[in-house]
Structure 1
């Protein structure tokens, strides 16, 4: 069986961000599953233009290729002012067809809210792109400490549930796309 290709997208580009540490922790949880191929897509590694260009740049094309290759996604997002970061929205908008009929899960973090306001808004964005968002989320309260080993049993359980849902939807939708083109 072909491995399910999951792209873990780090949605924060801020200096001093927690997103890279949160993503490393989540990837370590995902790599325990031998039926998943996990790739990290860090937005700081792309030189996106300040304004939307008439023609895609090399960085935009590279990002869109990564999205196109993936069968499923996990977006690691902070919550900034009850929303998600602008660079994440910009990156999401560079791809379109590449998101369609693929599942998206969320690992969010923030102070007290665990980033759930950002996730609520991202669900709306991904629904407009014809992606399928999975129900359960890994939400991390940074005031309770970072999710670095040893993390809590609850966070490990939440990651396992998210990965189980993402795997189910990822396989079902991959088979569906192979059998019939998605009608958008």
Structure 2
């Protein structure tokens, strides 16, 4: 078993101006970076270079963008956490575009979810994403972290109003992601995954 930290990509799926994703992501990433068994990289789809790359991917005449190549950033990770809102009972189009933009890079790697929204807490978006990632041959984890009526769950400083419970839920997510990430890392090393 490799003792090196698991490379975890935290993907922020919303690109809307004024998005609540920053509040959720800032807290979650600070929790993740406390783990010694994980090396966290934030992949924010609203980064101008990534956003431009995704826009250019829609126009075959433009060709691939020269900026930090989403496919390489995704490929460099061993596990993923997708932070997604729920928009109109689904997940953002930017996230679907990013998932489809790469392909084999997702294979045989675990994906977990942090969702937020209104009454459903983003869970309808997560259920749809499970189907999409299954097609990519990724392994989605059962337990998620969801924020129902998310804007009420954080104070003005971006801290959870119920820090103990959300930290416990985050720990469950991290522990499961670490187990699956290490297990699939070993599996890919012993026998490359072929779809």
1:24 aligned partner? 26
Alpha carbon RMSD of aligned pairs, Å? Answer: 1.5
Q: What is the CA–CA distance in structure 1 between the aligned matches of 2:59 and 2:174, rounded to whole Å?
A: 33
Q: CA 1:72–1:93 in 2, change beyond 3 Å: closer, same or farther?
A: same
Q: CA 1:170–1:52 in 2, change beyond 3 Å: closer, same or farther?
A: farther
Deviation, 1:136, is 0.3
Runs of at least 4 residues off by over 4 Å: none
2:107 aligned partner? 100
Q: In the alignment, is residue 149 of structure 1 matched against residue 159 of structure 2?
A: yes
Instruction: Summarize deviations over 1:135-172 as a string: whole Å, max 9, x none.
Output: 10000021533273354222111111001000000000
Match of 2:89 among 82, 94, 97: 82
Structure 1 segments unaligned to the other structure (5+ residues):
none
Q: What is the CA–CA distance in structure 1 between the aligned matches of 2:59 and 2:178, rounded to whole Å?
A: 33
Q: What is the CA–CA distance in structure 2 between the aligned matches of 1:174 and 1:110, rounded to whole Å?
A: 32
Q: In the alignment, is residue 11 of structure 1 matched against residue 13 of structure 2?
A: yes
Q: What is the CA–CA distance in structure 2 between the aligned matches of 1:165 and 1:34, rounded to whole Å?
A: 15
Structure 2 segments unaligned to the other structure (5+ residues):
none
Match of 1:91 among 95, 98, 122: 98
Q: In the alignment, is residue 174 of structure 1 matched against residue 176 of structure 2?
A: no
Q: What is the CA–CA distance in structure 1 between the aligned matches of 2:185 and 2:64, rounded to whole Å?
A: 27
Deviation, 1:9, is 0.3
The answer as to whether partners of 2:14 and 2:85 remain within 8 angstroms in 1 is yes
Deviation, 1:178, is 0.8
Which range moves more in the overlay, 150-159 or 103-112? 150-159
Q: What is the CA–CA distance in structure 2 between the aligned matches of 1:143 and 1:163, rounded to whole Å?
A: 23
The answer as to whether partners of 2:153 and 2:161 remain within 8 angstroms in 1 is no
Secondary structure class of the residue paired with 1:44: coil
Q: What is the CA–CA distance in structure 1 between the aligned matches of 2:124 and 2:9, rounded to whole Å?
A: 22
Q: What is the CA–CA distance in structure 2 between the aligned matches of 1:53 and 1:82, rounded to whole Å?
A: 30
Q: What is the CA–CA distance in structure 2 between the aligned matches of 1:8 and 1:58, rounded to whole Å?
A: 22
TM-score, scaled to structure 2 = 0.89
Q: What is the CA–CA distance in structure 2 between the aligned matches of 1:83 and 1:173, rounded to whole Å?
A: 29
Q: CA 1:176–1:151 in 2, change beyond 3 Å: closer, same or farther?
A: farther
Q: What is the 5 A alignment of 1:129-144?
A: 129-141=136-148, 142-144=150-152
Q: What is the CA–CA distance in structure 1 between the aligned matches of 2:177 and 2:116, rounded to whole Å?
A: 19
Q: What is the CA–CA distance in structure 2 between the aligned matches of 1:80 and 1:150, rounded to whole Å?
A: 22
